[in-house]
Amino acid sequence: GTQVTVEIHPRNTTPQLLKKLSFGKGFQKTEAPRPPSGKDLHAYPWDKSSLKSMPVDLQQFEKLDAYALKVNVKNSIEELVTALLKQARTDLEKVRAIWIWICHHIEYDVVGYHNKSQLSCKPIDVLQTGVCEGYAGLFEQMCSIAGIQCMKLSGYSKGYGYKMGQTFTGDSDHAWNAVYLDGRWHLLDSTWGSGSVDDSFSKFTFRYNEFYFLTHPALFVNNHFPDNSNWQLLKPALALKDFENNMLHNSNFYTMGLLAAHPETGVIQTVNGKAAISVDCRSSMLFTFKLKGIQEHGLMTLRKHGMTLEVYPQKTGSHKLQIFAKPPKASDDVYNCVLEYVLECKSVDKSTRFPKDLHQPVGPSWFSERQGFLRPSHPDPIIHTNDGRCSVTFTLGKDISVLASLHSDNSSLTEDMRRRHIMQIHRGNQIEFKIHLPHAGNFVLKIYAKKKSDPGNYDYIFNYLISCLNTDVKWPAFPQSYSKWAEDYEILEPLSGLLPANRNVQFKLKLHGIAKVLVQADNTYPLTRSRDGYWEGTCNTSGCTEVFVMVHENANHSFYSHVLKYEVETQ
């Protein structure tokens, strides 16, 4: 009365028939699994909906996961499965319990990987040791005992030792599983779910990775290419050539809410010495990058849902480009690598070089907006000026005090002078930075802020790149201001901190709450208050090297405070 099923199949395809296994008392049957059909297939490319191929509520697994972690039976696989299934009711829960146990208890056999002669892939031996073939075989057998249809699949993978843009030939190098749940096939990889090996492939580290449990097939195919393309569970199926060319997204890419990266190929040819990369994500993210291990020769800008990066390698040849990300709310300062490209650079753009003080990302963004810098006059990261002057305005959030400084690679400016080429003007909740460049070149405008009520230091917020190609540019610094110069005072003229010698110089200042204003050169010149509220007058610069503006806050006091200092040109 025993029924025997025989399957004949070509040598290069996976058998569709699962062994019927009989254990101890009774006969636990698993039906012969059906091959994938139309209802198992998911659209390719990924529709950006879910990371999983079926709805999974991880919170509902918390108790089951905790229970499965503690099960410690290694005498036989049957006893182990019986113990694991005590808390599992549905097929999904059974698969989950087996998955959690394998991912946390089977250590990858690094020695066995290197020395295949010492390797056993029998599931009972895998309880003591493990390689990918063994993980998948053990998973298949445990599912079979639990009455769940499961297939062990093999194929190519972009795992340990994978080099960007490589081709795949010869035998398959990895094994994983398909499980049949709720009338559909689903994919999982317990080898990669359990942890990772180091770069030298000498040490395995347990590091549980939820991503590889019931992964959406359009994401799974990013680094798993089955021998039998039907097991991609995709419509249309991917060709091996596309698998080889496609960008490798590691699991961090998707678990951090990133959606897509452009270009989609792992190897990028630079065009006129430049490569452009962009990333899209669900919510605001912080990014950084490294070119050959160093953050240089690039310009990265944050967008609300992603970032853009332009890279200008300064040497020809192959360059590794890594992109890192972290959520803004992350407590630690750790950025995770989410993308790796290889840049093939045939020519170098020597004209595009960035100052070493330029900090990534560049320009205003959702991040500077959160710090209180709203409605920027210049939303782009680079400000081009032909005459060496520019003006940048923002609406400021409440209770914010601001500092700014100017940096350049080929400038001998002291820290004080770096600040004096920028003038801050406050009008209500508007702030304007007037910038006069000391010479042509590329400059970094760094902006710092703190709460006025906070006695601590200023925090760096963001920076701009200011570019001026006009070699005739040579603006003097703005006049030096003292502590009594209030932030909402304003100089209309003279803006230059260097006055001509032996001249009459016109002064026009916007000050309030002041009784008298004097300009002290060789003689003292009072300014008069006009109807529109400006203090105006003239001063002669002959016979002096410095000119001071002094204010008298109270008409009853004889005490004057210095607010501005000008230098006078030497004869």
Catalytic residue (choose from 174, 186, 224, 319): 174
- Measured in whole angstroms, the distance separating CA 303 from the mean position of its chain's CA atoms is 11
- Closest Cα to residue 174, out of 128, 231, 125? 231
Crossing angle (nearest 10°) for helices 91-105 and 62-70: 50
Place of tokens 């005739």: 472
262 in catalytic set: no
**Do the Cβ atoms of 542 and 502 come closer than 8 Å?**
yes
Kindly state the tokens that stand for 499: 């006055």
Query: What is the distance between the alpha carbons of residues 500 and 503, in angstroms, rounded to a whole number?
Result: 6
132 in catalytic set: yes
CA distances in angstroms from 13 to 18, 232, 498, listed in the order given: 14, 14, 84
Q: Is the peptide bond prior to 33 cis by the omega test (within 30 degrees of 0)?
A: no
Q: Please, what is the Cα angle at 474 between 473 and 475, to 5 degrees? A: 115
Catalytic residue (choose from 65, 143, 189, 249): 189
**Do the Cβ atoms of 127 and 73 come closer than 8 Å?**
no
**Do the Cβ atoms of 256 and 336 come closer than 8 Å?**
yes
Catalytic residue (choose from 132, 345, 390, 468): 132
174 in catalytic set: yes
- Closest Cα to residue 159, out of 184, 186, 192, 128? 192
**Do the Cβ atoms of 297 and 309 come closer than 8 Å?**
no
Residues with catalytic annotation? 132, 174, 189
